[in-house]
């Protein structure tokens, strides 16, 4: 159990959501908020997040879409405890389980969900420099293969349910390859730091039982202009609406 001195309380979505996070270690940023904004959930539907951390994506989605049936699975007990704290503080009814996604509890294995979301570790094993803090290393560096995240998510979906994953753009081939076995009607949205720069992230959504062709959605640009010219954020209007106003991620031009 973490103490208040070990954590900070941070505002998201223009103050609509507050999250207690570790002062040191992995801290939620923009990526889980973008993931949540990509999910076409409707009130009353069920959502499972694999690797929910402190609940940033799960609760950002719940802030935008009311009356969701929320379940989160988190490997690290301290983060799962914080997710439970954050659910209570934000008045969400959510079931947060401390478990490995490769060994889910029986009650989760027996359920099917309308939506599964995930922000898996971005880096393959043995690549780059691992973060010093163990919890950050677990969050950033893959231990469970990306294909297993996808397979687990697909198994937990209802027919026609959707799996939504945010990942580094250079892992796109891994992600699409994993989805090919289990899912279809895939939509890929590239997130570019600025106009003229290569995409750094992708959000990939797929449907269980979908048979449609791969769709490339219009690209989204995080920041205005070719370079950062002044202090303060320079988010595009669409991204600012997502981050500040709890808007859905735009799906068209």
Buried b or exposed e, range 132-155, using 16+ CB within 10 angstroms:
eeebbbbbebbebebebbbbbbbe
**Which own/partner pairs from 7-10 qualify as long-range (CB within 8 Å, at least 24 positions apart)?**
7/82
Q: Is residue 169 part of a domain?
A: no
Q: What's the CATH number where 23 sits?
A: 3.40.50.150
Q: pTM score > 0.85 for this model?
A: yes
Q: Is residue 171 part of a domain?
A: no
Q: Is residue 51 part of a domain?
A: yes
Q: Is residue 167 part of a domain?
A: no
Q: Is residue 181 part of a domain?
A: no
Distance CA 13, CA 213 (A): 34
Domain that holds residue 9: 4-160+234-245
Provide mean pLDDT across the span 52-76. Answer: 97
Distance CA 96, CA 1 (A): 15
Q: Is residue 168 part of a domain?
A: no
Distance CA 48, CA 109 (A): 12
Say what the pLDDT of residue 2 is: 55
User: pLDDT of 171-198, one tens digit each?
Assistant: 999 999 999 888 999 999 999 999 999 9
Number of domains in the chain: 1
Q: Is residue 198 part of a domain?
A: no
Percent helix / strand / coil, the chain, rounded to 5:
30, 30, 40
Name 82's Cβ contacts closer than 8 Å, sequence gap at least 6. Answer: 2, 7, 19, 20, 21, 22, 54, 55
Q: Is residue 200 part of a domain?
A: no
User: pLDDT of 183-236, one tens digit each?
Assistant: 999 999 999 999 999 999 999 999 999 999 999 999 999 998 777 666 568 899
């Amino acid at each position: 159990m973490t103490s208040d001195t070990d954590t900070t309380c941070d505002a998201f979505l223009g103050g609509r959501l507050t999250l207690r996070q570790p002062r040191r270690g992995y801290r939620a940023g923009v990526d889980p908020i973008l993931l949540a904004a990509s999910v076409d959930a409707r009130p009353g539907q069920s959502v499972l997040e694999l690797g929910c951390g402190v609940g940033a994506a799960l609760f950002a989605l719940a802030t935008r879409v009311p009356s969701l049936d929320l379940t989160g699975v988190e490997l690290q007990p301290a983060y799962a405890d914080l997710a439970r704290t954050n659910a209570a503080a934000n008045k969400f009814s959510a079931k947060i389980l401390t478990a490995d996604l490769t060994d889910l509890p029986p009650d989760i294995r027996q359920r099917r969900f309308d939506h599964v979301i995930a922000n898996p570790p971005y880096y393959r094993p043995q690549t780059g420099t691992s973060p010093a803090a163990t919890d950050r290393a677990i969050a950033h560096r893959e231990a469970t293969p990306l294909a297993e995240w996808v397979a687990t998510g697909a198994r937990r979906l209802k027919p026609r349910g959707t799996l939504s994953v945010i990942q580094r753009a250079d892992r796109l081939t891994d992600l699409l390859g994993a989805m090919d076995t289990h899912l279809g009607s895939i939509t890929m949205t590239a997130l570019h730091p600025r106009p003229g720069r290569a995409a750094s992230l992708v959000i990939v959504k797929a449907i269980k039982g979908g048979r449609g062709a791969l769709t490339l959605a219009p690209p989204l640009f995080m920041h205005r202009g070719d370079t950062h010219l002044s202090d303060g954020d320079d988010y595009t209007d669409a991204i600012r609406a997502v981050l500040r106003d709890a808007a859905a991620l735009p799906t068209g031009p």
